[in-house]
Amino acid sequence: MTTTVPTEAAVRPSSPGTASGPRRRPGRIRRIGLPYLLLLPALLLELLVHLVPMVIGMVMSFKELTQFYIRDWTTAPWNGVDNYKISVDFDAPVGEALLHSFLVTVAFTLLSVALCWCIGTAAALYMQDAFRGRGLLRALFLVPYALPVYTAVITWVFMFQHDNGLVNHVLHDQLGITDKPTFWLIGDNSFFALLTVSVWKGWPFAFLIVMAGLQNIPKELYEAASLDGAGMWQQIRRITLPSLRPVNQVLVLVLFLWTFNDFNTPYVLFGKTAPEAADLISVHIYQASFVTWNFGTGSAMSVLLLLFLLVVTGVYLVITSRGRRTADV
Amino acid sequence: MRTTRAAAVAAVTMSLALAATACGGGSSTDGGGSNDSPKTLTYWASNQGASIEVDKKVLQPELDKFEKETGIEVKLEVVPWSDLLNRILTATTSGQGPDVLNIGNTWSASLQATGALLPWDKAQFDKIGGKDRFVDSALGSTGAEGKDPAAVPLYSMAYALYYNKKAFADAGIAEPPATWDELVADGKKLTGGGKWALGVEGSNPSENIHHAVVFAKQHGADFFTADGKADFTSDKAVAGVKQFVDLMAKDKVVAPGNAEYAQNQSVSDFAKGKTAMLLWQSASANLKSQGMSEDDYGIAPVPVQSGAPGTGTGVNSMVMGINMAVFKNTDNIDGATKFVKFMTSDAEQKILNQAYSSIPPVKGAQADAAFNTPANAVLKDTLAKSAVAAPQVADESQFETAVGTAIKGLFADAAAGRKVTEDSVKAALEKAQQQMPAK
């Protein structure tokens, strides 16, 4: 028996070797199969909740799905890549509007993420040293993040109103900065109204994550640096930011995806039809499908958005991880 | 070992349960109605009163009455306007909807095209007392011409000019304006000192559309050709839309702030005396709930370009109203028909339309003295003589969104002090037209 052990181990390196053949096999299958079995409910749920609707959406994007067919969408005629052609034909109105909306969304997302990150990081750094009332301030900073989105944004709608809004009351009536009350919810200024609400809502998350990341940086590093004569800026640049790198990598990506896809904020702020200057892509697609009842084109736009975000995420992860690897070496 | 097996069994059971619920749960989506559950009905009512609570108070006693008469229990849900169309679309797609529902009458043709609503052919109409119980103007907004109606008229409404009597007296104006020129002239007297002459809902696409259709019609234009093609950019349509937006842009009788109104703020402004005039449909109940007494305001027909309201260019309102429809896949088709019969009976029509300050589309009820007050007389007259039906085309709801949004943008321009010119109006309408489904 013992002589067979090495050959058996060579054939099946993972087997323990003491096994005496087929009799133990059911037990092993059970041991290996159990994790998969336990994962099955989660896998099925994932399929049900995420993948199946996504695939159905992709199928719909190849159909002419208007009000005539929504009662049974499987009967809608196939129209090949027509929906995609319409979506990306930037000389025609639908494509042009989509491109405009895309560019607005990109500009909005870049600004919002940058501001959220800067404000969140700055606040986290200031809150790092203990002082009286720090706990209270930390809790206060998290309020916008903890509030339900709808409640918070509706409050902003009231504040941005032209006639009775708080913003105009302060800027125009009290400070006299503007000649006449400004329109925030219609026209070009709506972009800044949207940006304000988005940053207000988003920066506490950056603050929370950066704050957590800061706790992992050993104090000794700072002590050593200050002994070497490094000032505060140098410490931030040479110790804090490099140490936060893995945290920031995830934080920026998550902020980007959330902001780019944000539907609630513009929808509550502007209703079903957003002003052109603040026509974010999520609301634009909603309008293209639900308001005009053209679900095929809407699905095609969604698929394009999905592809774009996949590419961006992939490229981002490749670039940032490569940078980190070289930095580690 | 025992726990492992238990866990495995639990996992498999749960997976099976999940799979089963994923496949099951659907009711009859094959289209045909049935009488499988004859004792209950689900009813989606539109929000007609000042609030959803008010609607429940108005409707529940009537539903109880119906249950007593027929033994059928009606489960009521009042759906806010902002959700109603989406809810109907979702119900259409999933086949999981109410048995009976209210629809805005302008949506009739669009929803008819989905094929989800029960067509009201002669046999079906006969079950509720025949088609000729209803007035013609209301029947004109129940679906595309030449097809069996997709719904039955329930409440009729028309636009009217509500004016604040005291503001008019203070400005020395004896009569409400009958033409737009008069309205603008009066408006200049009424505007000033933080008060404005007229209120509009500039950011509400549907409100914009209701006015735009009438203004275009007064200039002799339709937004759709006879064969149902979009035609938004004719000179006359442009002139009509421009005249509407010019009330703010050029005539300056509408406060710029109204450009962002979409939640009936213009009704509140009127009730509070901030504006002296309001173009609205059946506003009485709403104004009352906001504390404005009926003696404080008068009701006059919406102005026209010249002369008196009538047909053709004398049109001064759309035929507004609510229709009642039955989902084709209902599992209580007889009960649903009985319920529609009940709601459109003379007695119920009197009760409901009085509660909502609308006009009954049923001839027998309309003759009742309750609908002969001066206020109702204006609405009745408008509906009978000078109201135009919404375009009964399948793309109507897209039209509401596209053109309504274009006008929202024009109001935003006017509010920001930008020039609203024929070219800018035409460009906005052109863009709206290009968004319409190509055929």
Would you state the pLDDT for residue A320?
87
Nearest to A40 among B11, B259, B405 (CB): B11
Indicate whether A56 and A87 sit together in one domain.
no
Give B39-81 pLDDT, tens digit per residue.
Answer: 899 999 999 887 889 899 999 999 999 999 999 999 999 999 8
* A74, A291, A294: best to mutate for the B interface, most B CBs within 10 A: A291
Q: Report the DSSP pairing between strands B297-300 and B159-164.
A: antiparallel
Indicate whether A151 and A47 sit together in one domain.
no
CA–CA min distance B305, chain A (Å) = 30
> Per DSSP, what are the bridge partners of residue A103?
none
Residue B27 pLDDT exceeds 60: no
Give the C-alpha separation, B54 to A183, whole Å.
Answer: 34
Contacts of B15 in chain A (CB under 8 A): 40-41, 44
Closest chain B residue to the Cα of A287, Cα to Cα: B401
**Count of residues in chain A:** 329
Is A187 within 8 Å of chain B by CB? yes
* Size of the A and B interface in Cβ pairs below 8 Å: 112
The reply to whether A304 falls in a domain is yes
Residues B369-375: what's their mean pLDDT? 86
Nearest to A183 among B95, B259, B408 (CB): B259
Instruction: Return the CATH number at A238.
Output: 1.10.3720.10
Instruction: Report the 10 Å Cβ neighbour count for B173.
Output: 18
Contacts of B111 in chain A (CB under 8 A): 67
Picking from A155, A154, A172, the residue whose alpha carbon sits closest to that of residue A163 is A172
Torsion, Cα of B413, B419, B425, B430 (10° steps): -80
Give the C-alpha separation, B287 to B50, whole Å.
Answer: 9
Residue B297: HSE in the Cβ half-sphere, 13 Å Cα cutoff: 29
Contacts of A273 in chain B (CB under 8 A): 205, 401, 404-405, 408
CA–CA min distance A111, chain B (Å) = 25
Give A87-100 pLDDT, tens digit per residue.
Answer: 888 888 888 889 99
Residue B388: HSE in the Cβ half-sphere, 13 Å Cα cutoff: 26
Closest chain B residue to the Cα of A160, Cα to Cα: B260
Would you state the pLDDT for residue B145?
86
The reply to whether A227 falls in a domain is yes
For residue A257, CA distances in Å to A47, A54, A109, A114, A253 come to: 22, 17, 9, 13, 6
Indicate whether A135 and A54 sit together in one domain.
no
Indicate whether A112 and A235 sit together in one domain.
yes
Residue A207: HSE in the Cβ half-sphere, 13 Å Cα cutoff: 25
Indicate whether A51 and A183 sit together in one domain.
no
> Per DSSP, what are the bridge partners of residue B100?
B43, B326
Residue A211: HSE in the Cβ half-sphere, 13 Å Cα cutoff: 21
Give the C-alpha separation, B142 to A2, whole Å.
Answer: 90
Question: Residue A49's domain spans which residues?
Answer: 4-60
Residue B180 pLDDT exceeds 50: yes
* A273, A284, A290: best to mutate for the B interface, most B CBs within 10 A: A273
Would you state the pLDDT for residue B24?
36
Residues B408-419: what's their mean pLDDT? 93
CA–CA min distance A279, chain B (Å) = 13
Would you state the pLDDT for residue B322?
96
Is A94 within 8 Å of chain B by CB? yes
Question: With an 8 Å Cβ cutoff, are B401 and A292 in contact?
Answer: yes
Amino acid at A144: P
The reply to whether A159 falls in a domain is yes
Would you state the pLDDT for residue B75?
95
Give A10-28 pLDDT, tens digit per residue.
Answer: 444 444 444 444 555 667 7
Contacts of A48 in chain B (CB under 8 A): 18, 22
Torsion, Cα of B83, B212, B381, B286 (10° steps): 40
Whole-number average pLDDT of chain B:
89
Give the C-alpha separation, A256 to A260, whole Å.
Answer: 6
Nearest to B398 among A37, A186, A292 (CB): A292
What is residue B182's three-state secondary structure?
Answer: helix
Give B296-348 pLDDT, tens digit per residue.
Answer: 999 999 999 999 999 889 999 999 999 999 999 999 999 999 999 999 999 99
What is residue B323's three-state secondary structure?
Answer: strand
CA–CA min distance B254, chain A (Å) = 13
Give A239-291 pLDDT, tens digit per residue.
Answer: 899 999 999 999 999 999 999 999 999 999 998 888 989 999 999 999 888 77
Is B230 within 8 Å of chain A by CB? no
Amino acid at B337: T
Is A166 within 8 Å of chain B by CB? no
Indicate whether A12 and A96 sit together in one domain.
no
Give the C-alpha separation, A244 to A179, whole Å.
Answer: 45
pLDDT band at B357 (very low <50, low <70, confident <90, very high): confident
pLDDT band at B253 (very low <50, low <70, confident <90, very high): very high
Indicate whether A52 and A104 sit together in one domain.
no
Residue B94 pLDDT exceeds 90: no
The reply to whether A165 falls in a domain is yes
> Per DSSP, what are the bridge partners of residue B230?
B224
Q: Which residues contact B429 (CB under 8 A, 6 or more apart)?
A: B232, B233, B237, B238, B241, B403, B406
CA–CA min distance A152, chain B (Å) = 18
Phi and psi at B106, nearest 5°, equal -70, -20
Closest chain A residue to the Cα of B428, Cα to Cα: A93
- The beta strand positions in B165-265, using DSSP E, are 196-199
CA–CA min distance A170, chain B (Å) = 17
Is A48 within 8 Å of chain B by CB? yes
The reply to whether A260 falls in a domain is yes
Indicate whether A150 and A124 sit together in one domain.
yes
Is A150 within 8 Å of chain B by CB? no
Would you state the pLDDT for residue B29?
41
Give the C-alpha separation, A60 to A69, whole Å.
Answer: 11
- Domains annotated for chain B, with CATH where assigned, are 40-156+321-388 (3.40.190.10), 159-318+391-435 (3.40.190.10)
Domain count of chain A?
Answer: 2
Closest chain A residue to the Cα of B110, Cα to Cα: A67
pLDDT band at A108 (very low <50, low <70, confident <90, very high): very high
Indicate whether A13 and A123 sit together in one domain.
no
The reply to whether A69 falls in a domain is no
Residues B378-392: what's their mean pLDDT? 91
Question: With an 8 Å Cβ cutoff, are A68 and B110 in contact?
Answer: no
Residue A146 pLDDT exceeds 60: yes
Question: With an 8 Å Cβ cutoff, are B93 and A70 in contact?
Answer: yes
Assign 3-class secondary structure to chain A: CCCHHHHHHHHCCCCCCCCCHHHHHHHHHHHHHHHHHHHHHHHHHHHHHHHHHHHHHHHHCCECCCCCCHHHHHHCCECCCHHHHHHHCCCCHHHHHHHHHHHHHHHHHHHHHHHHHHHHHHHHHHCCCCCCCHHHHHHHHCHHHHCCHHHHHHHHHHHHCCCCCHHHHHHHHHCCCCCCCCCCCCCCCHHHHHHHHHHHHHHHHHHHHHHHHHCCCCHHHHHHHHHCCCCHHHHHHHHHHHHHHHHHHHHHHHHHHHHHHCCHHHHHHHCCCCCHHHCCHHHHHHHHHHHCCCHHHHHHHHHHHHHHHHHHHHHHHHHHHHHHHHHHC
Indicate whether A170 and A242 sit together in one domain.
yes
Give the C-alpha separation, A130 to A122, whole Å.
Answer: 15
Would you state the pLDDT for residue A5?
43
Give A193-202 pLDDT, tens digit per residue.
Answer: 999 999 999 9
The reply to whether A262 falls in a domain is yes
pLDDT band at B95 (very low <50, low <70, confident <90, very high): confident
The reply to whether A166 falls in a domain is yes
Give A38-82 pLDDT, tens digit per residue.
Answer: 899 999 999 889 899 899 999 999 988 888 888 888 888 888 888
Is B228 within 8 Å of chain A by CB? no
Give the C-alpha separation, A146 to B215, whole Å.
Answer: 48
Give the C-alpha separation, B19 to A78, whole Å.
Answer: 29
Indicate whether A89 and A42 sit together in one domain.
no
Residue B77 token pair: 């849900």
Contacts of A71 in chain B (CB under 8 A): 31, 92-93, 95, 114-116
Nearest to A34 among B8, B203, B415 (CB): B8
Pure H helices in B36-80: 52-70
Indicate whether A144 and A84 sit together in one domain.
yes
